[in-house]
């Protein structure tokens, strides 16, 4: 009998029990060390137990952990100031997770739609998402995730969601109608298998949304906070969305999420329209400040851009070396998908046996999400391990 008999069965069997983490390494109960390129699914931006993060969280825990949003939290205001510097003029609303950030975006879309039609609720609340998207497991998130494996068993979904084809501007043009309040997509689809929204497509989509009076909302929960070598993945396109959802890497392991809203849409949220007990509490903010401190102090965006170049070259070599298994390499910076033709589960298990942790995604995609502190040697080591695993299977 499993010693986890009192846990819900919503996760499948796990390969080992985690014990501790240090930098890019995760250790199991037997003190076996793994090169952790899963990063808690794009969460541990600074790796495990980064000394700056640990100190910040310890000190904050000793001072004030939580006090609710009924009182001003100066570190939350300072965190908003810092995020606005990356995103642009606007306002930040804090929450606890990626799904919650998306809920806040969906509510923003509804407020926008209601305002557009003169507050007649229910007339203009449509949200156009992308096929193959993943936006979380809440009812809003599921409705925005047009995948049977996510929605199955939970219908009816929230009303008003439709979907179009990523990188196909005509498809979005057709999907947007008079009832549409927002377009909502990931700058790089993560769970769906690492499919980036092309820069040209994002620029056309920006123009289309402006022309039709529709919000452009980007989910940066997985691809944001430096993962691509830019603070936000969409930056490469030069586009400025109307709203952004973020979470995961923001707290470096402590749960915190946020949305950024550009002015004037930030005004749509007024006292009473949304709230959360924990969102942006002092401890969460201390964790997030320390993530930003290290990203800025150690110039990690530049680091990711610099070292990922050679890593991508090495990864692309796997396509040439193992053409019968590896189809292509997708992604940007430290968010990479190795599209396989077959053997996904076998490769994931084999590299784990060889002490490398990766995450499966979408259909036959092996995802590599190193912490932003990973060195070029560690990146190369991941390729050597993949090579060994692929050699055995080919």
Ligand X SMILES: Cc1ncc(COP(=O)(O)O)c(C=O)c1O
| Interface residues toward ligand X, by CB under 6 A | 41, 97-99, 102, 134-136, 186, 190-191, 219, 221-222, 247
- Which position has the token pair 């056309």? 204
Measured distance between the N- and C-terminal CA atoms of the chain, rounded to whole angstroms? 36
User: Cβ 355 to ligand X, closest distance in Å?
Assistant: 24
Residues 185, 178 contacting (CB under 8 angstroms) = no
Quick one: 94 or 322, whose CB is closer to ligand X? 94
Quick one: 39 or 382, whose CB is closer to ligand X? 39
- Which position has the token pair 């993943």? 134
CB atoms < 10 A from the CB of 277, how many? 10
Nearest to 246 by CA among 229, 258, 261: 258
Q: Is the preceding peptide bond at 131 cis, omega within 30 degrees of 0?
A: no
Q: Could you tell me which residues are beta bridge partners of residue 163? A: 129
Quick one: 343 or 367, whose CB is closer to ligand X? 367
Quick one: 190 or 282, whose CB is closer to ligand X? 190
Residue number with the shortest CB distance to ligand X? Answer: 98
User: Cβ 209 to ligand X, closest distance in Å?
Assistant: 19
Quick one: 60 or 97, whose CB is closer to ligand X? 97
User: Cβ 376 to ligand X, closest distance in Å?
Assistant: 26
Residues 32, 232 contacting (CB under 8 angstroms) = no
User: Cβ 41 to ligand X, closest distance in Å?
Assistant: 6
Please tell me the distance from the alpha carbon of residue 385 to that of residue 394, in angstroms, as a whole number: 14
Residues 353, 347 contacting (CB under 8 angstroms) = no
Strand order in 18-22's β-sheet?
18-22, 25-28, 33-36, 356-357
Quick one: 145 or 350, whose CB is closer to ligand X? 145
User: Cβ 309 to ligand X, closest distance in Å?
Assistant: 25
User: Cβ 2 to ligand X, closest distance in Å?
Assistant: 24
Quick one: 99 or 217, whose CB is closer to ligand X? 99
Please tell me the distance from the alpha carbon of residue 312 to that of residue 336, in angstroms, as a whole number: 8
Q: Could you tell me which residues are beta bridge partners of residue 326? A: 340
User: Cβ 77 to ligand X, closest distance in Å?
Assistant: 23
Give whole-number Cα distances, 243 to 151, 217, 238, 268, 276, in Å: 25, 5, 15, 12, 19
Please tell me the distance from the alpha carbon of residue 49 to that of residue 41, in angstroms, as a whole number: 16
Please tell me the distance from the alpha carbon of residue 157 to that of residue 140, in angstroms, as a whole number: 8
User: Cβ 218 to ligand X, closest distance in Å?
Assistant: 10
Residues 330, 343 contacting (CB under 8 angstroms) = no
Quick one: 41 or 117, whose CB is closer to ligand X? 41
What tokens appear for 149 in the block?
A: 């494996």
Give whole-number Cα distances, 58 to 19, 54, 63, 292, in Å: 20, 6, 9, 17
User: Cβ 129 to ligand X, closest distance in Å?
Assistant: 11
Quick one: 97 or 382, whose CB is closer to ligand X? 97
Residues 247, 225 contacting (CB under 8 angstroms) = no
């Amino acid at each position: 009998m499993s010693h986890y008999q009192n846990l819900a069965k919503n996760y499948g069997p796990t390969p080992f029990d985690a014990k501790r983490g240090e930098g890019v390494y995760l250790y199991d109960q037997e003190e076996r060390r793994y090169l952790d390129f899963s990063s808690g699914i794009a969460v541990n931006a600074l790796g495990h137990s980064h000394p700056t993060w640990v100190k910040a969280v310890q000190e904050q825990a000793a001072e004030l952990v939580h006090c609710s949003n009924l009182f001003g939290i100066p570190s939350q205001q300072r965190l908003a100031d810092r995020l606005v510097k990356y995103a642009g003029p606007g306002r930040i609303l804090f929450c606890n997770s990626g799904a919650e950030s998306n809920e806040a975006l969906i509510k923003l879309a509804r407020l926008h739609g209601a305002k557009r039609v003169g507050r007649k609720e229910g007339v203009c609340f449509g949200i156009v998402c992308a096929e193959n998207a993943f936006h979380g497991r809440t009812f809003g998130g599921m409705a925005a995730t047009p995948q049977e494996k996510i929605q199955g068993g939970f219908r009816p979904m929230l009303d008003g969601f439709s979907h179009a084809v990523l990188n196909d501007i005509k498809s979005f043009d057709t999907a947007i109608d008079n009832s549409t309040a927002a377009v909502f997509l990931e700058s790089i689809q993560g769970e769906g298998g690492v499919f980036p929204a092309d820069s040209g497509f994002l620029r056309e989509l920006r123009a289309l949304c402006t022309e039709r009076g529709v919000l452009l909302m980007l989910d940066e929960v997985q691809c944001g906070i430096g993962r691509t070598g830019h603070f936000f993945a969409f930056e490469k396109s030069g586009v400025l969305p109307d709203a952004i959802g973020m979470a995961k890497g923001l707290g470096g392991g402590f749960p915190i999420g946020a949305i950024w809203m550009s002015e004037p849409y930030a005004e749509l949220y007024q006292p009473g329209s949304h709230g959360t007990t924990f969102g942006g509490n002092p401890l969460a903010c201390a964790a997030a400040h320390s993530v930003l401190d290290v990203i800025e102090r150690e110039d990690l965006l530049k680091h990711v851009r610099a070292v990922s170049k050679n890593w991508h070259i090495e990864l692309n070599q796997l396509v040439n070396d193992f053409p019968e298994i590896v189809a292509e390499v997708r992604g940007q910076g430290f968010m990479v998908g190795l599209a396989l033709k077959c053997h996904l589960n076998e490769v994931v298990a084999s590299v784990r046996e060889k002490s490398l942790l990766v995450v499966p995604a979408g259909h036959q995609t092996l995802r590599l999400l190193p912490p932003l502190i990973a060195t070029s040697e560690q990146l190369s080591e991941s390729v050597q391990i993949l090579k060994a695993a692929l050699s055995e299977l080919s």
